[in-house]
Amino acid sequence: MPASKSISWFANLTLLAGLSVPQLWSQSAPPPTAYTVTVANYMMGPTEIVSRSGSKALVDRSMPPSPERPKGFHTRTLYDLQTNTSFTWDLNQAPMPCSTATFSGSWGDPFSPDSIATPADLAKQNAKPAGAETVNGFATKVFEIEQPAKMKVWVEGKYGLVVKVQMTQAGGQPQNVAEIKQLSLAAPPASTFVLPAACAAAASAPRIPTEPERIAAETGGNAADFVNAGTGPGSQNSCIVLFRVVRAGSMEPIATGFQVAVDPTVDIQHPASYTMGVGADGHVRFSGGGLHEVTGQIRNGVLRIDNVPPQFDLETAFGNAGSSSALIYRHCFAPETVLLYVVKNPAKISDGGDWLWVKSGKYAQM
C-alpha cells in the first residue's frame, strides 16, 4: 500500500515563488473542522473543492476539457484522518478505478499551518503592507513581497488564510496564481463522504500494514531501529556480521533446527543458479555459484560472518518446514552489526518473515 501525501495549495505556491512561510503562526481563532473551501489554481493545475467534517475530508480536483485532455480531469480523494488512509477514484474513467493509500502529515487542509500566513510570517519575507481589500467576500490585508519575483498576497484576518496570490515577473503583467473563491463553515452533508462502490470493497478489506507497522509488530519495538536487509545499495564500510534467527512477536532466539549457506560472490548482473536438494531426512545440500554451507560455524545460535561484501546471498533451510532465500545488502552500523531473520512460523517458513539489520536498540548487541 503506497504512501500518499497531498500538499496544500499555498505550500505549492511557496515552492514556486521562493516564498518561505515558517510554521510560526498564532491563530486568532481555532481552525474549523467542518467546512467547504473552493480554490482556483490558475497556474498550478485543477480547481479544488476541499470538504471536511471532523475526521473525514474529501478533496475534489477537476479541470475542464482541453486539447491535451479531451475529457478534462476529475478525481476525488477521501481522507480518513483517524486511520491515515485515503481512497482516490477517477470520475472520468469507466469502469471507475479506485486506489487506496496511507498518508502522513499534510493532506491538503487549507487551515493547516503550511497554508496559513500571519504578519509575523510575512515580516520574515520583508513583506510590505499594501492596504486592505475585500476579495470574494473576504476582508483581507494586502502584502507585497519582492523575492525573487514580485508577489502580492491577500490574507484573511481571522484564521490567516491566504485568500489570493498574484505574481509579477520582471517586465511582465500581474498574473493571478491562485485564490480561494468560496468558504462555507457549515458541515458538509454526510453523503459527501460516501465511497463509491468501486472503493467500498477496498474499504471493507483488511488493511495491509505498512512496512514500519509490520516490522514493529514482528519485533515488538521501534521500526526505526531496523533496516530492511533487502534494500540496496550496500554501505561502503565493511563490518563483521552477527546473524541469528528469531521468532516474530516474541523475538525468542531459534538456535537449532535449520541450516545456513552463504554465497559471498554474488554478481547481480550475472546471477548464479542455485540448487538445494532435500533428502528424505529433511537435510538440504546446497550447490551453485559460490554458495557453501556454514551451519557448522553457528555458535549458540549466532553465525559470525567476517568481512561481508556489499551484497551476498543467504540461504536458510528448515528441513521439511521449508526454506528461505535472500539477497542481502550490507548495512554496517557498528564494527559488529547484527542481522536478523525474523520468522513468523519456523514450522511453516512459507508464512513469511523479514530480514532485518539492527541499526540501534536492545537487539543491536548480542
Give the percent of the chain with pLDDT over 70: 89
pLDDT at 4 exceeding the cut of 60: no
Cell numbers 553457528 correspond to what residue? 298
pLDDT digits (tens, 9 = 90+) for 81-92: 998 889 999 998
3-state secondary structure of 223: helix
73: which strand partners? 63
Read off the pLDDT band of 50 (50, 70, 90): very high
pLDDT digits (tens, 9 = 90+) for 243-292: 999 999 999 999 999 999 999 998 877 888 888 888 778 788 999 999 99
User: What is the sign, positive or negative, of the torsion defined by CA atoms of 231, 267, 265, 246?
Assistant: positive
Q: Which fold has domain 3-204?
A: outer membrane lipoprotein receptor (LolB), chain A (2.50.20)
The pLDDT, as a whole number, for residue 131 is 92
pLDDT at 137 exceeding the cut of 90: yes
Read off the pLDDT band of 345 (50, 70, 90): very high
83/126 Cα distance (integer angstroms):
40
Cβ burial of 30 (10 Å; 0-12, 13-18, 19+) is exposed
The most confident of 124-128, 208-212, 295-299, by mean pLDDT: 295-299
pLDDT at 44 exceeding the cut of 70: no
The pLDDT, as a whole number, for residue 59 is 95
What is the arithmetic mean of pLDDT over 142-151?
Answer: 82
Read off the pLDDT band of 69 (50, 70, 90): confident
Lowest-confidence range among 46-60, 114-128, 292-306, 325-339?
114-128
Read off the pLDDT band of 118 (50, 70, 90): low
Q: Between 184 and 234, name the one with better pLDDT.
A: 184
pLDDT at 175 exceeding the cut of 90: no
The pLDDT, as a whole number, for residue 168 is 87
How do 56-63 and 175-184 pair as beta strands?
unpaired
Q: Between 127 and 338, name the one with better pLDDT.
A: 338
The pLDDT, as a whole number, for residue 293 is 95
- Spans of all domains in the chain: 3-204, 211-364
Q: Do the Cβ atoms of 103 and 86 come closer than 8 Å? A: yes
Cell numbers 529433511 correspond to what residue? 282
